[in-house]
Structure 1
Amino acid sequence: MFGDVMLFLASFATLHAAYSTYEHLSYLKALGRPEGSLPQDIVFEALAALILGIVGSAIRTPELREVTWRSEMKHRSAEEQDPRLSFTTFAQRAGILQTPSAS
């Protein structure tokens, strides 16, 4: 739940920083000075939103699962396994790969 709140705040702060940037650039354009740097408060707000978003998404992610055969077999029975998965034959493709002889 805490991660959800952080992600919401990060989204809101990002949108607010974008709107503030638009307003600032519109103000500069009205003054006839289209070039200029962004105010520090907008930059800090965008960086804070980035940090909140990273921390919120890291908190919200589910716990990682083990990806070994042993951990998978804890949840499955031997009857659910297909014994033929590891057996593959390429004999049917052998005719396609051979080129005809030029005799």
Structure 2
Amino acid sequence: MSQILGRVLVGVALLAVLHAAFSTYEHLSILKALSRPTTSLPTSIVVEALASLLLFIPGIALASGPLKDVTYRGELAKRSIDDADARMGFMRLSKRGKALFGDLDRTT
């Protein structure tokens, strides 16, 4: 139920901010047509934009899903010990070293 309410609030906020943007465009185009200097926006447009922001914030909080646990303890709760401690034991690289670099003990 809260996700539906959140989506409705986000939709109303989106429509309100689009209407405020269109009203701003109209206001500035009328000022330009009348050759008047650009002044501040009317209070109704500013209030409408702020109201859409105040509707959007709780709407997006309600529409989002539950938060996931990102701690190490939460990650370990999902995995077995074999997945969590999947590191290799001690490796002997001396066999590979002789194959790659040859015998390094010889003197020239």
* TM-score, with length taken from structure 1: 0.71
Alignment of 1:1-103 (within 5 A): 1-81=4-84, 83-84=86-87
Runs of 4+ in 1 over 6 A off after TM superposition: none
Ranges in structure 1 where 5+ consecutive residues have no aligned partner: 86-103
Which position in structure 2 is the counterpart of 1:93? none
Which position in structure 2 is the counterpart of 1:92? none
* Deviation readout 1:24-67 (Å, 9 max, x if unpaired): 11111111103222111111000001111111112222222222
Contact 1:25 1:34 in 2 (8 A): no
Counting aligned pairs with the same residue, the percent is 52
Which position in structure 1 is the counterpart of 2:104? none
Report the structure number with the largest CA radius of gyration.
2
CA distance in 1, matches of 2:11, 2:39: 30
Letter in 1 for 2:53: L
Which position in structure 1 is the counterpart of 2:101? none
Letter in 2 for 1:19: F
Q: CA deviation at 1:73?
A: 2.3
Of residues 35-44 and 57-66 in structure 1, the stretch that sits farther from structure 2 once superposed is 57-66
CA distance in 1, matches of 2:8, 2:39: 34
Ranges in structure 2 where 5+ consecutive residues have no aligned partner: 89-108
Contact 2:76 2:84 in 1 (8 A): no
Root-mean-square deviation (CA, aligned residues, Å) is: 2.1
